[in-house]
Structure 1
Amino acid sequence: MQTRNTRAVRTVRSAALVLLGSTLLTGCFDGSSSSSGSSEPELNTNLFPADGKLEATIRRTTGGVPHIKADNLKSAAFGHGYAQAQDNVCLLAEAMVKARSERAKYFGPGEENINIINDFSYKAQRILSGAEQEYESLSPESTALIDGFTKGYNSYIEETDPANFPQRCQDQPWVKAISPVDLMAHYRIVGQYASGGQFATGAVFLAIPGEDLAEAQPKPVMTSTDASEFKSVSGDARLMAAAKTDYQDMGLGSNAWGIGKDMTEQGKGALLANPHFPYTGHRRLYQAHLTVPGYLNINGAGLLGTALPLISFNENLAWSHTVSSSRRFTLYELKLKNGDDLTYIVDSSNNRSTAHL
């Protein structure tokens, strides 16, 4: 997709700065991850650069839409991560803080202790620890996308003076380099928008049994935080959990229409995607065009932080996704053993057995 109005932006090539009509990003990496992730899979030049050097050209057209071209998928994701950081660094940094369960650490307890309750809930749901465990099993394609996007995001963070970030996150310590595992943890939160995410506002915290809940008050790790602010966490968790009565309404929706060639002026099929997602916040969509000659050529939009557009089209096909109303979780009420809140009854019929939480 090209337009006549192309914005001139700076070119970044190693340490040299040259003014051109596109941005050329380069970065030299040894192929190792900044986290405990796996080494790069057997080299596929469509996915990974043969020399380990990441390079992408970013051309922005009308409206600032980035058109990213690279010789391999990891470099294309590298450019995508850089472009997203340019445009949404504060939102992306906040999303990574949430994925690491560090909102209370940097932002304090929050209104009605929501940051503490969220942090605890995401830890209980193994958002970060699960990403650490599963990162090793990623496919080569997913590894290229996640590692490349991470490198691009970090490249922008490392070369930008914190004083030049938007006012919302200017000079903030939580705007920092991330690991591929951090990004994958963010994807695990995104994957819970229509399911487990609804239990991150009190219900998981209340899984602490009986009177032990009153003792489950968190301890502040930042000296600037008043310890007295943490005393009402369990009470707030109870109120939030009790206030949630409708687990059917997610506040999301979407639709799409596929139109056959007999109904269009150009005589070709068409797809209209109509996602009902917000224009602000972490759930906003971001448009980008990614090209790897002979391998990939897609233009579309995805949720912030996703390395590949989710609602897209190429020269042959267009695709969308919609919000499903089906439920992907089931609530069970366990019968606990008398006098032992950490043991529940598995079968209360003729043969009674117990299991420990």
Structure 2
Amino acid sequence: MQLTTSMRGIYAARIGLITAAAAVLLTGCLPTDYAASIRTTSYGVPHIVADTFTGAGYGYGYAFAQDNFCLFAEELVTLHGERAKYFGAAGGYLGQLGTVFGNVDSDFFYKLVLSSDQAARFKAGSSRATRELADGFATGYNRYLSDTGLAKLPVACRGKAWVKPMTEEDAFLRFSQAAMTGSSLGFIGAIGSAVAPAAAVAKAATTTTMAKAKVPAAPFEYAQSPVLMAFQSLRDHTIGSNGLGLGRNATQSGKGLLMGNPHFPWWGALRLNQVHITVAKENYDVMGATLLGVPLPLIGFNDKVAWTHTFSTDNRFTVRYLAIDPSNPTRYLKDGKSIAMKAVPLTVSALGADGNQVQIKRTLYTTEYGPMLKDTSFAWTTGSGYALQDANATNYQLIDQVILNGKSTSVDSLRLALATYNAMPWVNTIAADQAGDALYANYSVAANVPDAQLAACVPPPFQPLMASTGVVVMAGTTAACDWSGSIPAAGRPWVKRADYAMNSNDSHWWPSLNTYLSGFAKIIATGPNAEATAQNNRTRTGHAMVRDRLAGTDGQGGYRFTLANLQQLYLKSRFFKAEKWLPGFVSGCLASPGATPAALDACAVLQAWSTAHTPSSQGVVLFDELYAALGELNDASWWSVPFNPADPQETPRGTANQAAAMAQLETLVASSQFNDPLKRRARTQDVQLLQRAEGVLAVPGGRSTYNNWAGVRTQVAPGQFIYTADPATNAGAFGNSYIQFVTWDSAGPVAEGILTYSQSSDPTSSHFSDQTRKYAAGEWVKLPYTDKQIKADPNYSERVLYETPLP
């Protein structure tokens, strides 16, 4: 492929690729910032060594492209708002949170929200180091494209017209896109399709106030909004994580021990990629994992501290209700004045069914709050409309925050780093350090809405929505309800412990068994996630695991943690809510005179089940489906002992509403999935299956458990169901992704883990399923960090990559 010298980031008067044997150390000897040593260990993990962040980005951009070029090239098409141009007007794609978006709506969204102006603002708000990383990563990515050539790329993008060199602007767009993952990106379809109602109709309207505006008759209709359903996986903690930091009072060695366990999609832009970046002159040396196209580890460890993240409960956005001016649907009323929206005319090129390009034009609108949106519940009518205000739209210091995190030397310095920028966009941080301290901290971005304003500015029709889902719809009709920025660092919850600190996607309220953090701004944790509310299954499982280990009652021997027994306890796959509810249910079932023989057989299977979600457990698939049918037992009516905030570990407990639960079980055992005894005894290893070139892999974990994995329920034959994902893209699978266990000995970090779906997204790569096979077998791999560990790796290789820009 011929690349012109006008393409930013790929000017090359002198390009070199030399072997390690001939290379000089990167100590300024090479006359360019575009220079890096790429040291590769088993499973294709790159360890990048450079003198500058430019070089680090350059080396990683190249190494990353080797394994993920086609996937990221398609993501760049999405960022550019050109999906319809190349993939068709009628097509769509599976978004990051599991929602399918149409190509045309997506293109309009990206052209409006992630524009060149947004990239420029992010760049202007970034430090020198972030700018260097962006420039270096784009240059390294393009170097791979130049070296390989369009005709020799992996099959998925070989010779495709949509493959283009990456620009520095693209890097900043990707950073901003990552920041808005938990907010604006859920509104792609609703924003991209939000055209104004006809002006002629609006002139006849008389509705100008919330009280008179047409609203759905029942609050639940808002909760069924397609916009808000896009966030269902976040509200249900389906896309989430576990983080556990153990301190000196909980570990056998007296040093810290961290388990990081994000549960993310196995496809698309939320895929994680392993990398180790060393820039000694910048005091930066971090190994871990990062999101697709982000050039530094987001989760990881250095020689003194390890950290992970979990999705936080913060409200990062508010939907703003607008009273539309009856004389013009593109104006709204605020404090008695009519305010014009900003019209943004946009054009999308789209490939039609006949193979020709057509131009689709839409005028979208923005307000002082943000872009207009609409769907079937949040309609833009002659009387009312809705805009999105996203605190992360102006979060330009995400990468600076990540750099500072990586330079931390203890959990104390990590907390201070987090408080410096307060720019983690949608996550809690859990950490442990070499000295034996553990940290929970939520320095995530939350909309800067004080409690008094939250109480006064949510119109009555939307209060049940906030209570039931935590979603905040605020009035945009008065300046008294205006907000900007995010909750300051001084108002964020955190705690340092010598025993442990954890989070599994509930709020900040309960980070260790006897620690409660309360009194923080309600916008951080609203509705079912509010302080002092019932905790989810994974939260209770994590606390129970630590409690029983420290009491020595878990059968592991002793009463402290080691890296090995923490791994064993994790793989045990305890299911705490099943422990607390199932015994009473099966006793009642087996004593029920009205139960069918199939239901009685099912209950006998469930009674024999240990409640551990292990691959070989019989009946666990049946319970998974019953648990889902019962709404994951979240409703208080299923429990005989209600939740008590004074005892969140052991409450709720006990079985109630037996008749309703039995009715659900009878429905299940009558279905084709469970209508014979063998089907009712199905194990996860029988049905959680991934097709790979080398054969079928059985995937461990459960969709609602601490050890977490879920696939798409798929009927492969009459009455025969499996849970699986696309064999080429992994689309449909989510859960365990990058898992790390980190502690320290006298020589430095001791780390093991797994990248469950492996390092490469290219199905033809040797690194497409190598770690997946290990994961399926319940095994872990070493995470080499020190020079000695890296060079001792049996598959170690090294090369130096460099190029010199033209003047």
Q: TM-score, normalised by structure 2?
A: 0.34
Alignment length (residue pairs): 292
Do 1:23 and 1:59's aligned partners in 2 also have CA atoms closer than 8 Å? Answer: no
Written as runs of structure 1 = structure 2, the 5 A alignment for 1:209-228 is 209-211=196-198
Equivalent in 47, 50, 56 of residue 76 of structure 1: 56
Q: Does 1:67 align with 2:47?
A: yes
Q: Write the letter of the residue equivalent to 2:154.
A: P
Partner of 1:3: none
One-letter code aligned to 2:47: H
Q: Flag the 1:126–1:87 CA change in 2: closer, same or farther, 3 A.
A: closer
Please say if 1:145 is aligned against 2:133.
Answer: yes
Cα separation, 1, equivalents of 2:139 and 2:268: 23
- Deviation at 1:264? 2.4
Deviation of 1:22 after TM superposition, in Å, equals 10
Aligned match of 2:89: 109
Q: 1:126 to 1:337 in 2, by over 3 A?
A: same
Give 3-state SS (helix, strand or coil) of 1:277's partner.
Answer: strand
SS at match of 2:254: coil
Mapped partners of 2:192, 2:270: distance in 1: 24
CA contact (8 A) 2:50 2:279 kept: yes
Matching residue of 1:189: 177
- The structure 2 residue matched to 1:176, chosen from 164, 177, 185, is 164
Matched with 1:276 is 263
Q: Deviations over 1:131-173 (max 9, x none)?
A: 1343234211111111111111111111112122111111112
> By how many angstroms is 1:101 displaced?
1.0
CA 1:255–1:21 in structure 2 vs 1: closer, same or farther (change >3 Å)?
farther
Q: Which residue of 2 aligns with 1:207?
A: 194
CA contact (8 A) 1:127 1:188 kept: no
Partner of 2:70 in structure 1?
90
| CA distance in structure 1 between the partners assigned to 2:116 and 2:243 by the alignment | 33
Counterpart position of 2:243? 256
Overall identity of the aligned pairs, in %: 36
Q: Deviations over 1:264-320 (max 9, x none)?
A: 233310111110012332211100111123522110000010010100100011121
SS at match of 2:135: helix
Kindly provide the amino acid, as one letter, of the partner of residue 93 in structure 1. Answer: A
Return the letter of the residue paired with 1:274.
N
User: What is the match of residue 297 of structure 2?
Assistant: 309
CA distance in 1: counterparts of 2:164 and 2:22, whole angstroms? 26
Alignment of 1:227-246 (within 5 A): 243-246=226-229
What aligned pairs does 1:3-152 form with structure 2 within 5 A after superposition? 51-111=31-91, 114-152=102-140
2:520 corresponds in structure 1 to none
Q: Which residue of 2 aligns with 1:34?
A: none
**Hey, what does 1:229 align to over in structure 2?**
none
Q: How far apart, in 1, do the equivalents of 2:188 and 2:156 lie? A: 25
The AA in structure 1 aligned to 2:306 is: A
Contact 1:255 1:323 in 2 (8 A): no
Match of 1:219 in 2: none
Q: Is the 8 A contact 1:210 1:341 kept in 2?
A: yes
Match of 1:88, as an amino acid? N
Point out where structure 1 has 5 or more consecutive residues left out of the alignment. 1-13, 27-44, 213-240
Question: Hey, what does 1:346 align to over in structure 2?
Answer: 334
Question: Residues 22 and 211 (structure 1 numbering): CA distance in 2 closer, same or farther, change over 3 Å?
Answer: farther
Question: Which amino acid counterpart does residue 134 of structure 1 have in structure 2?
Answer: F
Q: Structure 1 residues 310, 23: closer, same or farther in 2, change over 3 A? A: farther
**Is the partner of 1:90 in helix, strand or coil?**
helix
Question: Following the alignment from structure 2 to structure 1, what is the Cα–Cα distance between the partners of residues 85 and 25?
Answer: 33
Task: Flag the 1:198–1:17 CA change in 2: closer, same or farther, 3 A.
Answer: closer
Secondary structure of 1:322's aligned partner: strand
CA contact (8 A) 2:107 2:192 kept: no
Retained in 2: the 8 A contact 1:260–1:268?
yes
Aligned pair in 2 of structure 1 residues 123, 55: CA closer, same or farther (>3 Å)? same
- Residue 193 to residue 97, structure 1, CA distance change in 2 (3 Å): same
Residue 66 of structure 1: how far off its partner (Å): 0.6
Which deviates more from structure 2 when the two are superposed, residues 78-87 or residues 315-324? 315-324
Cα distance in structure 2, aligned partners of 1:298 and 1:256: 18
> SS of 2:297's equivalent?
coil
Tell me, in whole angstroms, the C-alpha distance in 2 between the residues paired with 1:339 and 1:91: 47
- Structure 1 residues 22 and 119 mapped into 2: Cα distance closer, same or farther (>3 Å)? farther
Kindly indicate whether the alpha-carbon contact (under 8 Å) linking 2:105 and 2:193 is maintained by their aligned counterparts in 1. Answer: no
Q: Moved runs in structure 1, 4+ residues, more than 6 A? A: 21-26
The change in CA–CA distance for 1:24 and 1:205 in structure 2 (over 3 A counts) is: farther
Which amino acid in 1 is paired with 2:55? S
**1 CA distance for matches of 2:25 and 2:152?**
19
| Alpha-carbon distance between aligned partners in 2 of 1:184 and 1:175, rounded to the nearest angstrom | 19
Please report how far the alpha carbon of residue 242 of structure 1 lies from its aligned counterpart in structure 2 after TM superposition.
5.4
Alpha-carbon separation, structure 2, partners of 1:86 and 1:320: 26
- Cα 1:23–1:321 shift into 2, 3 Å: farther
Pair 1:312–1:24, CA change in 2 (3 A): farther
Q: Who is 1:289 aligned against?
A: 276
Decide whether the 8 Å contact of 1:69 with 1:291 is kept in 2: yes
Q: 1:106 to 1:72 in 2, by over 3 A?
A: same
Distance change in 2, residues 1:103/1:25 (3 Å): farther
Assess, with a 3 A threshold, how the Cα gap between structure 1 residues 179 and 49 changes in structure 2: closer, same or farther.
Answer: farther
Measured in 2, the distance between the counterparts of 1:24 and 1:122 equals 44
Please tell me the residue identity of whatever aligns with 2:340: H
Q: Displacement of 1:17 after TM fit?
A: 5.8
- 1:206 to partner: Cα distance: 4.1
Distance 2:269 2:313 in 1: 21
Report the TM-score when normalising by structure 1. 0.74
Contact 1:25 1:79 (8 Å CA) reproduced: no
Q: Is the 8 A contact 1:131 1:185 kept in 2?
A: yes
Cα distance in 2 between the residues matched to 1:332 and 1:99:
26
1:5-35 Cα offsets, whole Å, 9 max, x none, are: xxxxxxxxx5566565899999xxxxxxxxx
Partner of 1:320: helix, strand, or coil? strand
Contact 1:21 1:59 in 2 (8 A): no
CA distance in 2, matches of 1:155, 1:142: 20
- Determine the C-alpha separation between the residues in 1 that align with 2:104 and 2:111: 11
Could you say if the C-alpha distance between residues 244 and 253 of structure 1 is closer, same or farther in structure 2, counting changes exceeding 3 Å?
Answer: same
Greater mean alpha carbon deviation, residues 334-343 or residues 121-130: 121-130
Change in Cα spacing, 1:207 to 1:306, as seen in structure 2 (3 Å) is: same
State the distance in 2 between where 1:16 and 1:78 align.
13
Do the aligned partners of 2:81 and 2:106 also contact (CA within 8 Å) in 1?
Answer: yes
Letter in 2 for 1:65: V
**Could you say if the C-alpha distance between residues 314 and 107 of structure 1 is closer, same or farther in structure 2, counting changes exceeding 3 Å?**
same
Contact 1:72/1:292 (CA < 8 Å) preserved in 2? Answer: yes
